[in-house]
Amino acid sequence: AEGNPDSNYGDRTTVYCQSSSTSYMDERGWFRFESDDHLPENPDIKYAGLRVLVWKGDKDGSVSIECYGSTDDQWSEDNITWNNQGSLSPSILDSLTIEDDAYYDWFEFNVTSFVSQELQNDGNFSFILKTGTEGTSTFRTISINSKEFKMEQAPRLRLYYEGDPDDTEEIT
């Protein structure tokens, strides 16, 4: 949270994506997945989706959420803060509009190109979700369940590929 730039929230049951000029200010959600032991060697990725469960949309209206990648995989859930977060990819991977009536709804961001690129590098994937109104005084927030809430509602990376042993993998 930009308003508490040296605080870590990695053990919380909710991940917030927020834009605000007061209190916690802007907030981003960071998600990391490792492909170790989940994929065959050199899979041909047909589609990759970052899937999150939004348990509450913003009561005041829809929120544009942007998904970025980061090649900085050195962060951990236990120590990432606003001040030490890595850099975001220069362009948005995907964006979705979360309506105000979103309540326990799954949303999926297309991250295929970034996953294919990172498989050629280290096979680790870091994604960042943030509001499209970040840096403005417009208060908007959505609430996403984290793995600390329930594993079956945890953010996940869904991969569809051609190859053995099967064509689908889900990493939480």
Calculate mean pLDDT across residues 68-87.
Answer: 94
What is d(CA 89, CA 96) in angstroms, rounded to the nearest whole number?
A: 17
Q: In the numeric block, which tokens belong to residue 87?
A: 């850099």
Report pLDDT digits (tens) over 64-75.
Answer: 999 999 999 889
102 — pLDDT class (breaks 50, 70, 90): confident
Predicted structure pTM score: 0.91
Percent of the chain with pLDDT over 90: 55
CA–CA separation, 8 vs 1, rounded Å?
8
106 closest CA partner among 45, 51, 39 = 51
pLDDT tens string 2-41: 989 999 898 998 898 989 888 789 999 999 998 877 788 8
**CA separation for the pair 57, 163 (Å, rounded):** 38
Token code pair at residue 116: 């294919």
